[in-house]
């Protein structure tokens, strides 16, 4: 379906229908089913023959894990891009070099920790990509008036002195993320996100 055709379909919907569709796509349980659970399953299924003892073996192992996850999610990724994600993920924790040194120490538990760090990062990274897809395909194409009405709905659900909804129409993604984030944080309190 072309972008123009999709825009026509979305512009025949009213603001409440668009918001309902977006919320359904960003529902906590749906995200868990689409992203978190498959990645946890990959982490639990992923195996390797030997604990890496050098940098090339470590790099191959972590790249294999990322490509394994992407395959399971039916997404494509090159080895180069997979390695970039590995470095990003590990730099948010102990750093790539720290993870490398821990993993090549011969301790299988250290490798499992690295895979766990990568799994958590891939969940966040995949959710972010999915959020962007939802906003770019479901909100961005709708008419300005519908966006303003969506802001009014969101603001009425959480009363505050927001002023003119037109000021927020270009920031619907932030408003929706905030609402979904609040709901997700509450869900986090009542459920376990770990991959065990």
Average pLDDT over every residue of 127-145: 88
pLDDT 10s digits, 99-111: 888 888 877 888 8
Secondary structure of residue 27 in the 3-state scheme: coil
- pLDDT for 94 equals 81
Q: Is the pLDDT of residue 189 over 60?
A: no
């Amino acid at each position: 379906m072309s972008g123009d055709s999709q825009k026509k379909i979305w512009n025949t919907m009213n603001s409440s229908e668009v918001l309902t569709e977006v919320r359904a796509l960003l529902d906590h349980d749906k995200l868990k089913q689409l992203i978190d659970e498959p990645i946890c399953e990959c982490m639990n299924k992923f195996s390797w023959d030997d604990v890496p003892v050098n940098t090339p073996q470590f790099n191959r192992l972590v790249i294999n894990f990322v490509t394994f996850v992407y395959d399971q999610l039916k997404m494509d990724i090159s080895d180069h891009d997979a390695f970039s994600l590995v470095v990003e993920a590990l730099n948010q924790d102990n750093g790539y070099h720290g993870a490398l040194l821990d993993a090549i120490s011969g301790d299988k538990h250290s490798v499992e920790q690295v895979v766990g760090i990568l799994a958590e990062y891939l969940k966040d990274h995949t959710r972010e990509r999915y959020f962007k897809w939802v906003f770019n395909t479901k909100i961005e194409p709708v008419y300005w008036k519908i966006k303003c009405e969506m802001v009014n709905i969101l603001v009425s659900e959480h009363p505050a002195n927001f002023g003119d909804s037109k000021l927020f129409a270009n920031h619907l993604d932030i408003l929706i993320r905030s609402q979904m984030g609040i709901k997700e944080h509450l869900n986090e309190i009542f459920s376990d996100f770990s991959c065990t």
